[in-house]
Each structure stands twice: as structure tokens, then as C-alpha cells.
Structure 1
Amino acid sequence: MGENRSVRDVVVPRRDDLENASQVIREHLRPTPVDPGAGTPGDPGLKLESLQPTGSFKVRGALNAVAAAPGTRVVTASAGNHGLGVAFAARTLGRRATVVVPETASAAKVDGLRRLNVDLVCTGESFDEAEEHALALAETPGCHYISAYNDPYVIAGQGTIGHELDEQVDGPLTVVCPIGGGGLASGLGLWAAGRADVRVVGVEAAASTAVSAAVGAGRRVPVGIGPTLADGLAGNIEPESATIGLVARHVDQLVAVTEDEIRTALRYLAAERGYVAEGAGAVPVAALLAGKVAVYGRVVAVVSGRNITPAALAAVLAADEAAPAAS
């Protein structure tokens, strides 16, 4: 992402914005279930956002943001899941949408977008380049840009996961979630800010640590992005993103997981728990299995999405089967 990027003026959401978002979400989505497990790091509860109609939690923030958007068309950039959420929201709410994805986006997510009634643009070698293009398109009159993370309605929509957990899991509680741009962690942090018995832990892929770098520096710090199974988390963030301050104030711990740890989590979810997850959806479980999370009370990992190609998942599972023979 170029350093000459202009800074967007984004309102920081408040806790009461989550209440308003919950009303929107309840109209269009059912609560996702929790598989309770033992509630321990080795057998965590699983908040199954992978069972959303688009295969990802991103549909929450997208619905809330599209419902509030002015203009006749919404424009967004996405590694895939946010785009699917915006496409679903636009169809549900009778709006038009343009979704910009990088040419490197997951084939599973691009195929899903092609099946929905959106104008799909594939451009750029990274999310950062796709985001730049989407911001330029959104300058067209009548268009409104919806960030995958740096948007108050998106953040509030993601935080509605917490309101469902209020009804599903007793505290004290540690909620572990993925971090890419920080929208989910910010929303959950706002929810947890009013609850003394809840901790929120955010997990990045070690190949993409834009949010923890920004929190550590107190401002956006461009970082190198490496290849990762957690493609939904890969990319830098906007200058002065609202998520930087929200994560710094309301998220109790930030950790990063390796590619091997992500693979281990994908295998665990499939073989031990019976769930398909994408790489980004597995990083909370990866951190727990690796012993990287400071646990308080019961543990719930947000399995944020399932949109992985069969070939990619099969390769991870096949590598595990081949390991004993290679030793």
C-alpha cells in the first residue's frame, strides 16, 4: 500500500452501536451455534461463524454497513469473504455492489462471488493494490466505499458475535479471534469492554502482522506480507485505521501463529471436531493448541470462515497422513 494514500475520516464506533447492529443482524441472520467442547485450550468451544450463509462472519458487518450506506452503489475491496458478505447484503437489501479482489484471491471465494449479482473486478497482486483500486472507484458520484475492517458499521456488525455469546456461554470467558485488519477484534473488544469477566485475544498469521505492528508503534507501520494459508488475514491496513486504537484499548492479548501451526489447527478441526475451516478461520485454534494464549475461564475460539478450496484442504490433510511414513 503506497505511503501517499490519503487518510479517510472514519468515525470510531461506540458500544451502543453494537445494540443497533444487533437489530439489523437479527432481521436477516440466525445466531450461529457454539460447539462447547471442554472449554479448554486443547478442546476449546467453537463459535461456528463458518456456518454463516456466505461461509464467514464477514456477512454480519456487511449487512450492517450496506443497510446504513448512502448512495445507489456500494464499493468494496476484499480478499474474498468480505466481498461475499457485501454481495449477500446487497442482494438481500436490494442494492448494487462492486467488489474488487486481488488476482491472487482464493478461487473458492472468487467462484462464490461470480455466483452472486455483483460487478466483480479482479486486479492487483495483493489486497493492498485491490483496496487502492476500490477506493478510486468509490470516488464516482453515487458510490459509497465500505472497508472490510475500517468502518464503524462493519466493526459494530462483527461485534454482534459477542451478543450471541452472552446467551450461549457462561463466563468467565476468553474469546480468541483472528486478526487481519482488526474489525472483528475491535467489535468483540467493544462488546467485552462492558463485561469484567471476558478477555479477548487476537491472533494474526506470522506472515502478516500489520495490526500488532501498528498497535506497538501507535500508528500504521507498513509490514512485509508473506505467503500464508490464512489468505483472509493477509495485507496492510489503512493509515489511521480506527481499528488500531480499538484493538490497543480493548483487546487483551495479540499473538501470531506459524504456517505449521495453522496446518495443525486445520487438521484438528477436520479430524477431531468434524468442521471445515479456512486458514484464517483456524488461527484462533492454532494459537490455543500451540499454548500461546493466556487463558481466563472457559475458552471459545471464533471459527471465522470455511471458504477453502477442496484441493487446499486435501493437501493439508494428506500431508498429515504422509508424515508418519516419512519419519
Structure 2
Amino acid sequence: MPSRSVTAPTTADQERAWEHVSAVLPPTPLLPTALAPGAFLKAETQQPTGSFKVRGALAALAVLPGGEAAVTASAGNHGLAMAYAATLTGTPVTVVVSTKASPAKVAKMAAYPITLVRHGDDFDAAEAHSLTLPGRYVSAYNDTHVIAGQATIGRELDVQAPGPLTVVAPVGGGGLVAGLALWAEGRGDVSVVGVESAVSRAVSAAVTSGRIEPQVIGDTIADGIAGNIEEGCLTPDLIRGRAELTAVTDAEIHTAMRWLFTEHGLVVEGAGACGIAAVLAGKVAVNGRLIVILSGRNITIPAAINILAENYPSHHDPR
């Protein structure tokens, strides 16, 4: 896969993203939770596409010259966000997904007037193919304006939850945590913790080694954060020294999904529950108030039912 030149978002880029995103999307709510004293859940599940990804997509398409087409690859949520943003900006968009992408996310994408391409058995293959197609490539994670768009979550927290804070979010390609890390850098009372799937640790490997090398990626319920990152990816450099990284197993993610349902009545996809999984597993050191970002809700009904029913008693005692 060829290396692309991507620059870190400047202050001006972040301000521009905030203008575009806040003009379209109201702030997502903070939900009080007993997870820790004074803790909140940041419900990005309430976005119109069911995921925080709409922020980055809106920011990226808003700066494209009129009439220019965009192309991207996605595990699902970014493609859905690009499709939604395309309807608002009038941008022609092509989205490449793997043949194994989440059916729930693919079905929602197909409802929008975009060009939807199925290619390859995983995200890495879909991403490689998308880079060969015409149009301005908008990476789900390695894009100046996408990262700036994800940082708008922090701008909302400035008003909703003044520090000190510990903000916990999932990590796939690292765009969300990179954006949060940039936002937090000028705020000495905010720390950021990124959570990967234990079987998909491309970002933490690059942060540790200082170079990007393909990693073995396993199957996980957190399909939205599974995959390698492209050569030359900017996010490890933005995260290094600005955020802590940890990882959770699928068993821990399943526990978190059930906890969110039983304690808050929330259906959250695997990737979206990773922050909760890390906190419940004791993998997050909390300073100040805890904010856990629930990044997405898009999961098939059968998958959600199977996970929620795990370890649930099969009999009913009428007493």
C-alpha cells in the first residue's frame, strides 16, 4: 500500500471542523453512570448514523472543492458517516467495504445514494483497493480533517464536563484518540486513554516501536476497530506521549455490552463498548471525573441477542 502524506491538524483545522460539525450536529448527551464517582457516558450512539464517525466525515467533506468526488474504505461506521455527510454536502462518494463487513452497517449504507463496493475479505484489502479508485481519498483515521472532526467531542466536553477528566475511547486506526489527544494537549487537567481489541493492536505496536508494520489481526466482536493501519499513518505519532493505551478481550467486551444493557438500557456495538470493558476490568487509572465514550451502536439484532443472553439463566423461577 503506498504511503500518503498526511499532516497533523492545525489549530485552524480544528476550529474549521468545529464550525462545520457544530452547525449540523447538536452535542451528544452525557449520561450519569455509577461506573465511578461523578462518571459519565458520552453517548455518541445518539448520532444520526449511530456513531461518532459522522463528525470526521462532515469535517472532511466540508473542505472539499465543490464537485470533487470522495472515496474511502470502511469497516462500516465511517462509510455510513460518509454516506450521511454526502447527502448534506452533495459530494459524490464511493465506499469500499470488505465482503465480511457488518451486515447491519452495510444495509444502512446501501440506503444512501452512494457507490458501494464490496472487495476483499478484510478491512486491509478493502482499504488497499479504495486507494486505487478515482476521487479524493478520505481515510477513516489517517486524515487531517477527519482527526480534527473527531476532536470536536472534546470541544463539547469543555462545556459539558469541565476538568479534571479522564476520557476513555476505543482505538482502531486511532483517529478518535488522536483527535482527543490533540484537544487535551492544551488542557493540563485532562488525560486520554485509548482501548484496543486484544487481537488488533496495530496502533499500540506502532506507538511502541516507532514504525508501522503489519500485525496479525484476529476475529473480534469489535469489528469496527479491527485491522492494520496504512503505511505512513499519522495517528501513532499524535498519540505517542499524549495518551495511554490498553487492550481488552472479547470476553471483557461482552461483559461490558451486557453491563450497558442491564445498567443503562443501552445497546452498544462491540467497538463502542471497549472503554467500558477496560474500566470494568480495572485497566484504567482514573484522575478526576471519568468520561467513557460510547462510540457506536450499529450491531445486528442476532449478534446483540446472542451476547446479551450469554450466561443468562435459561429457566424462569415464578416465585
- TM-score, with normalisation over the residues of structure 2? 0.96
Report the counterpart of residue 175 of structure 1 in structure 2. 167
Matched, 1:295 2:289: no
Check conservation: 1:46, 1:301, Cα contact below 8 A.
Answer: yes
Residue identity in the other structure for 1:198: V
Report the counterpart of residue 233 of structure 2 in structure 1. 241
Report the counterpart of residue 114 of structure 1 in structure 2. 110
Following the alignment from structure 2 to structure 1, what is the Cα–Cα distance between the partners of residues 210 and 32? 36
Change (3 A) 1:291 1:317: same
Change (3 A) 1:9 1:44: same
Paired residue secondary structure (1:76): strand
Q: Which runs of 5+ in 2 are unaligned?
A: none
Residue identity in the other structure for 2:297: R
Check conservation: 1:15, 1:191, Cα contact below 8 A.
Answer: no
Report the counterpart of residue 228 of structure 1 in structure 2. 220
Check conservation: 1:87, 1:113, Cα contact below 8 A.
Answer: yes
Report the counterpart of residue 197 of structure 1 in structure 2. 189
Q: Which runs of 4+ in 1 moved over 6 A?
A: none
Following the alignment from structure 2 to structure 1, what is the Cα–Cα distance between the partners of residues 11 and 268? 29
Matched, 1:133 2:129: yes
Residue identity in the other structure for 1:183: G
Paired residue secondary structure (2:72): strand
Matched, 1:65 2:60: yes
Following the alignment from structure 2 to structure 1, what is the Cα–Cα distance between the partners of residues 55 and 233? 20
Following the alignment from structure 1 to structure 2, what is the Cα–Cα distance between the partners of residues 35 and 44? 8
Change (3 A) 1:290 1:246: same
Match of 1:89 among 69, 81, 85: 85
Following the alignment from structure 2 to structure 1, what is the Cα–Cα distance between the partners of residues 19 and 290? 27
Check conservation: 1:15, 1:190, Cα contact below 8 A.
Answer: no
Shift of 1:38: 4.2
Report the counterpart of residue 26 of structure 2 in structure 1. 30
Report the counterpart of residue 152 of structure 1 in structure 2. 144
Q: Judge which range, 161-170 or 315-324, deviates more.
A: 315-324
Following the alignment from structure 2 to structure 1, what is the Cα–Cα distance between the partners of residues 14 and 45? 21
Report the counterpart of residue 269 of structure 1 in structure 2. 260
Shift of 1:185: 0.3
Task: Report percent identity of matched pairs.
Answer: 54
Paired residue secondary structure (1:136): coil
Residues 277-288 of structure 1 aligned to structure 2 (within 5 Å): 277-288=268-279
Following the alignment from structure 2 to structure 1, what is the Cα–Cα distance between the partners of residues 266 and 162? 23
Match of 2:209 among 211, 217, 221: 217
Q: Judge which range, 28-37 or 195-204, deviates more.
A: 28-37
Q: Which runs of 5+ in 1 are unaligned?
A: none
Following the alignment from structure 1 to structure 2, what is the Cα–Cα distance between the partners of residues 55 and 46? 15
Q: Deviations over 1:206-255 (max 9, x none)?
A: 0100000000000112110100000000000011211010010321x100
Matched, 1:7 2:9: no
Q: Deviations over 1:120-145 (max 9, x none)?
A: 001100000000110001xx3xx111
Match of 1:51 among 40, 46, 52: 46
Report the counterpart of residue 17 of structure 1 in structure 2. 13
Which has a greater percent of helix?
1
Residue identity in the other structure for 2:8: V
Following the alignment from structure 1 to structure 2, what is the Cα–Cα distance between the partners of residues 38 and 80? 31
Following the alignment from structure 1 to structure 2, what is the Cα–Cα distance between the partners of residues 123 and 160? 32
Following the alignment from structure 1 to structure 2, what is the Cα–Cα distance between the partners of residues 129 and 8? 17
Check conservation: 1:14, 1:190, Cα contact below 8 A.
Answer: no
Change (3 A) 1:235 1:67: same
Q: Deviations over 1:245-298 (max 9, x none)?
A: 0010321x1000000000000000111111110000000000000000111111
Match of 2:299 among 269, 293, 308: 308
Following the alignment from structure 1 to structure 2, what is the Cα–Cα distance between the partners of residues 117 and 250? 39
Shift of 1:14: 2.5
Change (3 A) 1:272 1:16: same
